[in-house]
Amino acid sequence: MTELQGEYVPSTADWVREQVAAFEASNGAEANVLERDGNPIILITNRGAKTGAIRKTPLMRVERDGRYLAVASVGGGDKNPAWVANFRAYPDMVLQDGGTKKAYVARELSGAEREEWWDYAVKTWPTYGEYQPKTSRIFPLFLLEPV
């Protein structure tokens, strides 16, 4: 399964919607980095917790041994992004990294495992370490493992 069935409802954030469109139109060959710093991104297709709609969520690429970490940072804002509810409700999703699209299942991390992956995320993209102190919200982390 490398497609989720259902109606795609794009992000309400223009820059995200546009990045998703350019990434998909080029099969991951373009729009595959964060504009402002050139760090690689991945694209996750997930299902809306309330609407059941197909949602597409670009995130920074934090990968190790074929597993990916989703960091719900949203720039250090005080509210979880909606996709946290989606991942909790529907953990089966599709992740595209460059031209490779595969099925993954997401598992929310806690305790020592969460800390270990958080350290790895900050090493991979140090901006996460700048975002976390901006809020008392602890960023939910999800580990995506291939199905």
Ligand X SMILES: C[C@H](OP(=O)(O)OC[C@@H](O)[C@@H](O)[C@@H](O)Cn1c2nc(=O)[nH]c(=O)c-2cc2ccc(O)cc21)C(=O)N[C@@H](CCC(=O)N[C@@H](CCC(=O)O)C(=O)O)C(=O)O
| Residues at the interface with ligand X (CB under 6 A) | 11-13, 16, 19, 34, 41, 48-51, 53, 55, 57-60, 71-74, 81-83, 85-86
Q: How far is the CB of 47 from ligand X (least distance, A)?
A: 8
Is residue 129 within 8 Å of residue 121, measured between CB atoms?
no
**Nearer to ligand X (CB atom), residue 45 or residue 86:** 86
**Nearer to ligand X (CB atom), residue 11 or residue 135:** 11
Is residue 47 within 8 Å of residue 89, measured between CB atoms?
yes
Rounded to whole angstroms, the Cα distance separating 124 from 63 reads 9
**Nearer to ligand X (CB atom), residue 71 or residue 106:** 71
Residue nearest to ligand X (CB): 48
Q: How far is the CB of 36 from ligand X (least distance, A)?
A: 10
Rounded to whole angstroms, the Cα distance separating 73 from 106 reads 16
Q: Exposed, middle or buried: residue 38 (CB in 10 Å: 0-12, 13-18, 19+)?
A: exposed
Q: How far is the CB of 136 from ligand X (least distance, A)?
A: 17
